[in-house]
Amino acid sequence: MTRTTAAPPDPAPARLSVRHWIDDRLTAAVIGTVKLLPYHRRVPAMGWFFRRVLGPLALNRRIRQNLRHVFPDMPEAEVSAICHGVADNFGRSFIELHSGPDFARRAATFEPGGPGLAALDRAHAEGRPVILVSAHFGNYDAWRSNLSARGFRVGGLYMPMTNPAANARYVATIESIARPLFPRGSEGLSDMIRFVKSGGMLGLLGDHYMAHGELVDFLGKPAWTATSAAKMALKYKALLVPLYATRNPDGLTFTIEVEEPIPHTDALTMTRALNDSASRKVMAHKGQWFWLHRRWKHAPETTAG
């Protein structure tokens, strides 16, 4: 089933307001203060802050709603443990992102693995395009930075923030981790397509709610899902490869796993394979997925047929 509503035009660029400026300055002050700590201390410190302060104040309600939707019979003790894990991982990922060069240097030392890594090596040698698809899981910038350090041309698609001041800071820090980057929407579309056609590896996150997508099961529940990654792979004869960076028990390092490329069939079948891959990863590490998105918005309880 496909949504038939026409896609909305790109929104007009947000204008910097006094509130935007104040919000950004407060956030920058918090980040600057935490960054006075050595890297190996600032990451767990921000995890603690998100777990103990922001979680109860602002995060846990949405996490619980999503968990109850997917796991209605989950015991309360497990729900609470996942809430703690999600907030902790979110906080660590947040400060890792804002520790760009430090984070990138560490990410470069991780040894990627998985059955699909050889396929990436071959695609790089042959100049074949690759669509890399992950999820809001672990820290997705870890694999982007790691593969870039490995010599791969890895581009990333990002969603511009509504606060212009915060967006400028955000783009600067993610560019310090790896480049190039392409803003979602018409502004970055032509550059992104040229990059893919030239044999680049484009990184996408496939677990967003997509109003104009297809209903595809995710974690056993129908969710509106973009099929654009699969369509690009088919159109440009690119490999379609799921991959993930799972946070290790030490809280600072990651296991980067590249899965086998998904066979080219049709866009819906390939998208189902991507959702199944992400679902398996989330089920294995429930506290590392960002249960904060409205992933199942406007979706029925079951898919038709």
> What is the tens place of the pLDDT at every residue in 289-300?
999 999 999 989
Confidence label for 26 from pLDDT (cuts 50, 70 and 90): confident
The overall longest dimension of the chain from CA atoms, in Å, is 56
- What mean pLDDT do residues 11-32 have? 77
Q: Are strands 154-158 and 254-258 parallel, antiparallel or unpaired?
A: unpaired
How many residues would you count in the chain? 305
- Greatest mean pLDDT among 14-28, 108-122, 169-183: 108-122
- What mean pLDDT do residues 162-167 have? 82
- Return the SS3 of 290: coil
- What mean pLDDT do residues 33-41 have? 96
pLDDT for the residue 164: 82
Spans of all domains in the chain: 18-288
- What mean pLDDT do residues 217-229 have? 97
Checking if the pLDDT of 8 tops 70, the result is no
Q: How far apart are CA 242 and CA 103, in angstroms?
A: 22
**CATH of range 18-288; options 1.10.287, 3.30.300, 3.40.1130, 3.30.310:** 3.40.1130
pLDDT for the residue 160: 85
Checking if the pLDDT of 193 tops 50, the result is yes
Q: Is 128 exposed, middle or buried (0-12, 13-18, 19+ CB in 10 A)?
A: middle
Neighbouring C-beta atoms of residue 120, cutoff 10 Å: 24
pLDDT for the residue 14: 61
More confidently predicted of 277 and 186: 277
Both tokens of 193, joined, read 């397509």
- Return the SS3 of 301: coil
pLDDT for the residue 304: 60
- What mean pLDDT do residues 67-75 have? 98
Residue 244 identity: Y
Q: How far apart are CA 175 and CA 131, in angstroms?
A: 19
Would you put residue 57 in left (φ > 0), alpha (ψ -120 to 50) or beta? alpha
- What mean pLDDT do residues 7-26 have? 67
Checking if the pLDDT of 47 tops 60, the result is yes
Checking if the pLDDT of 222 tops 90, the result is yes
Confidence label for 161 from pLDDT (cuts 50, 70 and 90): confident
- What mean pLDDT do residues 272-289 have? 98
- What mean pLDDT do residues 9-33 have? 75
Q: Which residues are 250's β-sheet partners?
A: none
- Tell me the average pLDDT of the chain: 92
Please calculate the CA angle 269-282-42 and round it to the nearest 5 degrees: 135
In this structure, what are the phi and psi dihedrals at residue 245, rounded to the nearest 5 degrees? Answer: -120, 105
pLDDT for the residue 5: 38
Both tokens of 25, joined, read 């300055």
Q: pLDDT, tens digit, for every residue of 117-157?
A: 999 999 999 999 999 999 999 999 999 999 999 999 999 98
Q: Which residues contact 58 (CB under 8 A, 6 or more apart)?
A: none
